[in-house]
Structure 1
Amino acid sequence: MTDNHLTELRARAAQGDGDAIGELVELAGERGDMDELRRLVDEGSADAAAQLVELAGERGDMDELRRLAANGNHDAADVLLELSEEDDKDY
């Protein structure tokens, strides 16, 4: 992926191009780019939110999950609860 292609995708996404948004979400997920996913979530992408929750859950990033849950993301709250329950079982 070249910087030019990424810039073009972001420009198309900013214009509301669903395919470009989807491609950015997929690429960010593959790269583990939480900043890109956060930006897409802030722009309203539900797919980016789902990918960010998945990535944060895989990484055990409780702070990110708490932030998402505090902003009303029910999936993040569910993952946060699951991870918290797993931690409780370890003791």
Structure 2
Amino acid sequence: MTDSELSELRARAADGDRDAVDQLVELAGERGDMAELRRLSEAGSSDATDELVQLASERGDTGELRRLADAGNSDAAELLAELTDEDD
């Protein structure tokens, strides 16, 4: 995907195009782009939040899981507990 296509997709997502949001979430997940997933999650995409939790878990990113858990995400809280229990 070219930069201009990605920009167009982001613009469509910002205008409320659910298909564009879904496509951005998928692309960001494939690229491991946590910044894009954070942005989409903060804009209200629960799919982006789910993908972000999964990616953070796979990477062992306790900081990101803690941030998500502190924001009320129960999946992130559970995974954080599992990861920190393994460290003990």
Fold similarity call, TM over 0.5: yes
Deviations 1:27-52 (A, max 9, x none): 00000000000000110000000000
Unpaired stretches in structure 1, ≥5 consecutive residues = none
Q: Distance in 1 between matches of 2:20 and 2:13?
A: 5
Q: Does 1:56 align with 2:56?
A: yes
Q: Distance in 2 between matches of 1:42 and 1:67?
A: 12
| Equivalent residues, number | 88
RMSD over aligned CA atoms reads: 0.7
Q: Does 1:77 align with 2:71?
A: no
Q: Which residue is equivalent to 1:68?
A: 68
What is the 5 A alignment of 1:8-87?
8-87=8-87
Q: Distance in 1 between matches of 2:6 and 2:44?
A: 19
AA in 2 matched with 1:52: L
Q: Distance in 1 between matches of 2:15 and 2:75?
A: 27
| TM-score for both structures, normalised by structure 1 | 0.94
Unpaired stretches in structure 2, ≥5 consecutive residues = none
> Equivalent pairs: percent with the same residue?
68
AA in 2 matched with 1:57: S
Deviation at 1:13, TM superposition (A): 0.4
AA in 2 matched with 1:56: A
Off by >6 Å, runs of 4+ in structure 1: none
